[in-house]
Amino acid sequence: MATKRKTSPKPVPAVPPVSVITGAAGFLGSHLTDLLLAKGHKVVGIDNLVTGSVANIEHLAGNQNFRFIQQDVTEFLFLDGPVNYVWHFASPASPIDYAQLPIQTLKVGSLGTHKALGLAKEKGARFLLTSTSEIYGDPLVHPQTEDYWGNVNTIGPRGCYDESKRFAEAITMAYHRQHQLETRIVRIFNTYGPRMRLKDGRVVPAFVSQALRNEPITVFGQGKQTRSFCYCSDLIEGIYRLMMSDYPLPVNIGNPHELSMLEFAREIIQATGSKSKVVFKPLPVDDPKQRKPDITLARKLLGWEPQVELTDGLARTIEYFRRKV
């Protein structure tokens, strides 16, 4: 009598994780979208295009794993189906933006974060908040560690951005503690790279565009204030590792290589081969004198540190801006 051959069960296809990204058409949100798609995620991108641009995601047209919704994140977010991760990137993020859009900046940090947390809670998803080094204000501690509480002028012209992010951190931790929501908080330090807006008021596009036009490069004060610059791919990799970690408290992600603004202006002139000269203008109100992340925690928790040298990152960024100027 013939015996029946046992058949192996057919393998169940792996279900790709679903990520929702607010601010998906922005500089950093679009780079995160690319990374997640490359890692096999289905991505739902949400953006009201106030500071984001369709140009940043137009290369994804026709990608079946990407869906774009034009919506203000301060409105209720209704999505069918499962969601595994919510990445809250939406916010104006440059001095020009939050000078022109102070109320919208405060609303996206408060109401928008509340709505994004509500979506994560409803779906049982893990939530990541993109906070900022600006919560440290004009720091009295250098370099800045995550346990430093900051030195912020709540009623100054930058207060709308600083306080929106400080509130966002507070409500994220409230959801973590009261609803046991899995939450992550990244404090982003100065980041640069392709897809930055030419006139967004941040130092890299400002200096690069001026240099490419051979215009005077505007340095505020005496140029002694310092910043540190992290290339976008390094930052996004760090944020991805943080989301996949089990650490709920804030983590600095940035490049600890510190430069004065005068040194950086000269670096840009050399990298572009520009004939620009440096000119000095009065220092803006509440402009931080020093900004440098302590990334000890990121190194220990995430095994992360920046890989892209400033010369390489600037070369890629300048190539992008040459096509825009």
Among the options 85, 161, 192, 240, which is catalytic?
161
Burial of 323 (0-12, 13-18, 19+ CB in 10 A): exposed
Judged against a pLDDT cut of 70, whether residue 95 lies above it is answered with yes
Q: Is 270 helix (H, G, I), strand (E, B) or coil?
A: helix
Q: What is the pLDDT of residues 32-73, one digit of tens each?
A: 999 999 999 999 999 999 999 999 999 999 999 999 999 999
Mean pLDDT calculated for residue range 198-224: 90
Q: What is the pLDDT of residues 240-291, one digit of tens each?
A: 999 999 999 999 999 999 999 999 999 999 999 999 999 988 887 767 788 8
Helices (H) and strands (E) in the chain, counts: 10, 13
Taking alpha carbons only, the member of 296, 260, 300 closest to residue 280 is: 260
Query: Which has more confidence, 239 or 13?
Result: 239
Lowest mean pLDDT among 22-31, 130-139, 219-228, 303-312: 219-228
Could you state, in order of their start, the residue ranges of all structural domains in the chain?
Answer: 18-193+230-256+292-307
Q: Which two tokens mark 98?
A: 């939050």
pLDDT at 41: 98
Contact 29, 43 (CB under 8 A): no
Contact 203, 220 (CB under 8 A): no
Our answer to whether residue 136 is catalytic in this structure is no
Which one of 3.40.50.300, 3.30.70.60, 1.10.3720.10, 3.40.50.720 gives the CATH number of domain 18-193+230-256+292-307? Answer: 3.40.50.720
Taking alpha carbons only, the member of 116, 95, 115, 91 closest to residue 105 is: 91
Q: Is 45 helix (H, G, I), strand (E, B) or coil?
A: strand
Judged against a pLDDT cut of 60, whether residue 6 lies above it is answered with no
Helical pair 203-212 and 261-272, crossing angle rounded to 10 deg: 40
Burial of 56 (0-12, 13-18, 19+ CB in 10 A): buried
